[in-house]
Amino acid sequence: MAIQPYQEDNEASSGPLDTAPAKRLRWATQRVAGSQGGTKRQSILRRLSHKKRSSDDSAKRESNGTDLESVPEGSEASTEQAGAGRRVFFNMPLPEDARDEEGHPIAQFVRNKIRTAKYTPISFIPKNLWFQFHNIANIYFLFIIILSIFPIFGASNPGLSAVPLIVIVTITAIKDAIEDWRRTVLDNELNNAPAHRLVDWENVNTAEDQISLWRKFKKANTRAITFVWHLWKNRKESKAEKRNSQKDRALDEGGDTRRPSMYSQRMSVISMATEEPGAMEMTPVHSPMPASAMEGSKEMDLGDHIRKSLENDALKPGDVHQVVEVAKDPTDPNAPIPKRFYGNIINPNKPTGKARFKKDCWKNVQVGDFVRLYNEESIPADIVVLSTSDPDGACYVETKNLDGETNLKVRQALHCGQKVKRARDCERAEFILESEPPHANLYSYSGAVRWKQYGSKNSDVEAADMAEPVSINNMLLRGCSIRNTEWVLGIVVFTGEETKIMLNSGITPTKRAQISKDLNWNVIYNFIILFFMCLISAVVQGTTWGKGDESLDFFEFGSYGGTPGLNGFITFWAAIILFQNLVPISLYITLEIIRTAQAFFIYSDTFMYYAPVDYPCTPKSWNISDDLGQIEYIFSDKTGTLTQNVMEFKKVTINGVPYGEAYTEALAGMQKRQGIDTDAEGAKARIQIARAKVKMLEDLRKLHDNPYLLDENVTFVAPDYVSDLTGASGPEQKAANEYFMLALALCHTVITERTPGDPPKLEFKAQSPDEAALVATARDCGFTVLGRSNDGIIVNVLGDERQYTVLNILEFNSSRKRMSAIVRMPNGKIVLFCKGADSIIYSRLKKGEQQGLRKTTADHLEMFAREGLRTLCIAQRELDEEEYQIWNKQHDIAAAAIQNREEKLEEVSDAIERDLTLLGGTAIEDRLQDGVPDAIQLLAEAGIKLWVLTGDKVETAINIGFSCNLLGNDMDLIVLNVQDENLASAEAELDKNLA
């Protein structure tokens, strides 16, 4: 490692990080009761060298079965077993190896009821006393009380000595009980939250729940307390309603015209539309009419309309044969594009019963249940999606309670389960879900659904074994919420403590403030002083008593000790009682009172009140609020914490030509370092960009009348790009610009959401805001993604509507740093589009070609990075039919694997993502949040040291540091460039230069 002053061209590189988790180990935030401060003073590098290394057992284990011998399209699936995983059976009898001697399932799954409270009514007293007596002062005062019990030590009233300690323990216990009671209330609300699950059918994966006598006793008490609480609450609310109704009559005498809530409309319609057994509980499209208009026959008409629409979607005999079996002729552009057959888990020969969806509590949801979720509802367990209200099987999920990200994620239903929409379909769905065991990695899951594919009803055709892989993109995790989706139907895989959110939360820790830990040491120091004081008193007393013919004899009325040694021993313990105030017990009472009052003041602080959600700052642990005043270091990431996580497409380089005008915050930081007036420069640049935007919009509308082009949505300002798109720079650059935007419109996993209006609006929902920004820019430039069909994407290319078949998606992850889409073009050619980090794409370009374009594009990307923009490279490769078919078979085998699926998919993907042809690069801006520079400056003035972690290049990070006030011109800028992975030498270099 070398340490040197900052130079303009220095860059830091980082290699890929292997994040594959070991099974059953915590992957994300781990909360552990208690804390150890042994590593507090160690440097970061030393802690890295002592990091716990977990071994990946899954890499050493071999599969018990064999791989798939053919692809899932109508062929036999493998019999690979999940090792230490689980098998969940649906409408199938359990095999012998899954049953015990009495026929009950061997596998025992945990309940979905969770408890985050630390105490129970029985364990509260002993457990709370155990935690309280971790304070050495409490042990000391208890010892003094025990000494006071013995009259030989001269204590006058032992009961009076115990009062202070009893008061301290009682006050602390009451505070802890209130905190834990709030946790218990939240647990009960969550466990009793409503969920719609399938009832009146047999879930073979769970045995009959045997309720113990203790659980019956608890249930009876809980119901009694809940009944009394609701009775008192309802009376109070009814009185308030009477007072409000009297006021309402004076204001509104014309009847109730209030609009009903969406939930009440939905539930009223569902209750009518699902009266018959097996009817589907589906969320209808809400009517704009008020509740008063939905009366009598109109309500029944709406229910009949829903039932008719459901019958039209019913499974028809012979659906399995509705597949286009025509091969695509590359020479005939009008030939039909072959559709891929994914199969169907419904057995048309199986009779239906009386199963129906019923509202139940979360705590009653079990592994193997069918669950239906509605819009805005939270997810009660880890669920695999079978079908959704969206025709493409997509649903939107909000994961902010899980990972803190506010952008919606897209989850996809299994292809084989998209026909399962009603209760009767659930009864006829016969399949096995093979799953890996539960682990805490939020971004990884491997499983497979296996079933027998039947022909039409009463058909004599032999059923074929089929399989479909299940990944994290098919799973809804507990703690998330459904958004922008009417309904979702899924199956429960993990419940309770085995869900990913609970595996990451761990046990509720008992937190202690730093001042409490420091007071323990002060008590120890005071006790040492007290020990020597009492020892001196005992020695003096014993020595004085041993002397004869002293005047002491006239004042001594007797002694408990018969000898000088025994008298000194008694004096030692008597002195401890006399000098006990050396450790002030009143200090602890004062601290508990102050902390309680401080928690109230924090809750009442109007400056920490968040008006959009009507929620104040709520302290969860009252006894650590004073730690806020002792913060010395703050470690923060950049994206989404300092920045808005709202991506805006700013610049692009295509075929060696740069496009785009922007004045970024990092560019302002660069000018700030040079002493330039950034306010004046920024105002000048914004005027120039506004003029260029007006010209670009005029040219775009002349080129193509794009109904989805909205002025306020355009972030890419480049009039010269539109000029080249019309052929001003020649046909070669025109074709390159068109092909580049087409690549952006095809290489993604974005879902299109259309909002009707004049003009209509298209919104793109993506797992990454970068993807949405790329597709939105392609839309603004005339390459609009209109939506998805069963196998493809419909794109409007400058007014010409085309359909592209997406054959495979190789998804992005942190280790690959790239994603690819294999697309069959309308002319029959197969093209792989790949986008990712510039270092990754450049390493996969075809050797010996495009040398000039590579250098020019790299220079442009470096220039974009200096301006604080996030850069990506776009490349492509044409595949011949035979090569693709061979590769696709290997890909399907890897995708259906249970063990080491990610490693196998990475190996297969790596084989096809080679010999690429560079198309260009993009640059996206993620602006700082409002108030971030001022907040960082205040933290610096307070003496708090802020560390920011970013994956940007060195030049980009420095410029952003200046723009957000993390760095200043009065600082000495030092760049540490680590050339090797030897932590010892790196730490030695740091100690040498920074000590």
| Known binding-site residue numbers for Mg(2+) | 637, 639
* Active-site position among 57, 256, 637, 934: 637
Q: Which two tokens stand for residue 825?
A: 């073009």
* Length reported for the chain: 995
What is the pairing mode between strands 917-928 and 870-879?
antiparallel
Q: Which two tokens stand for residue 631?
A: 């913060």
Cβ distance 197 to 370 under 8 Å?
yes
Q: Which two tokens stand for residue 394?
A: 């997509």
H/E element, 489: strand 487-494
Q: Which two tokens stand for residue 175?
A: 């505070």
Residue 14 DSSP symbol: -
What is the pairing mode between strands 633-637 and 945-949?
parallel
Q: Is the dihedral of CA 521, 524, 528, 530 positive or negative?
A: positive
Cα–Cα dist 507/491, whole Å: 27
**CA-based nearest residue to 488, from 433, 546, 414:** 414
Question: Which 3 state secondary structure label does DSSP give 550?
Answer: coil
Q: Which residues contact 707 (CB under 8 A, 6 or more apart)?
A: 759, 760
Binding residues: 637-639, 771, 812, 835, 870, 950-952
Neighbouring C-alpha atoms within 13 Å toward the C-beta of 40: 7
Question: Which 3 state secondary structure label does DSSP give 765?
Answer: strand
3-state secondary structure 578-620: HCHHHCCHHHHHHHHHHHHHHHHHHHHCHHHCEHHHCECCCCC
Cβ distance 743 to 833 under 8 Å?
yes
Cα–Cα dist 827/287, whole Å: 44
Could you give the C-alpha distances from 263 to 107, 483, 485, 935, in angstroms and in order? 38, 14, 14, 41
Q: Which residues contact 671 (CB under 8 A, 6 or more apart)?
A: 678, 681
Question: First-to-last CA distance in the chain?
Answer: 16
Could you give the C-alpha distances from 807 to 132, 296, 340, 420, 891, in angstroms and in order? 62, 50, 9, 24, 11
Question: Which 3 state secondary structure label does DSSP give 73?
Answer: coil
Q: Which residues contact 581 (CB under 8 A, 6 or more apart)?
A: none
637 is catalytic: yes
**Cβ neighbourhood burial of 646 (10 Å; 0-12, 13-18, 19+):** middle
- Given the structure tokens 């919420």, which residue do they identify? 481
Q: 920: which strand partners?
A: 654, 874
User: Phi and psi of 450, rounded to 5°?
Assistant: -125, 135
**CA-based nearest residue to 762, from 730, 797, 787:** 787
Q: Which two tokens stand for residue 603?
A: 């809750």
Question: Which 3 state secondary structure label does DSSP give 4?
Answer: strand
Cα–Cα dist 361/191, whole Å: 7
Q: Which residues contact 970 (CB under 8 A, 6 or more apart)?
A: none
Q: Which residues contact 533 (CB under 8 A, 6 or more apart)?
A: 575, 579, 582
Cβ distance 465 to 76 under 8 Å?
yes
Which residues have a catalytic role annotated?
A: 637
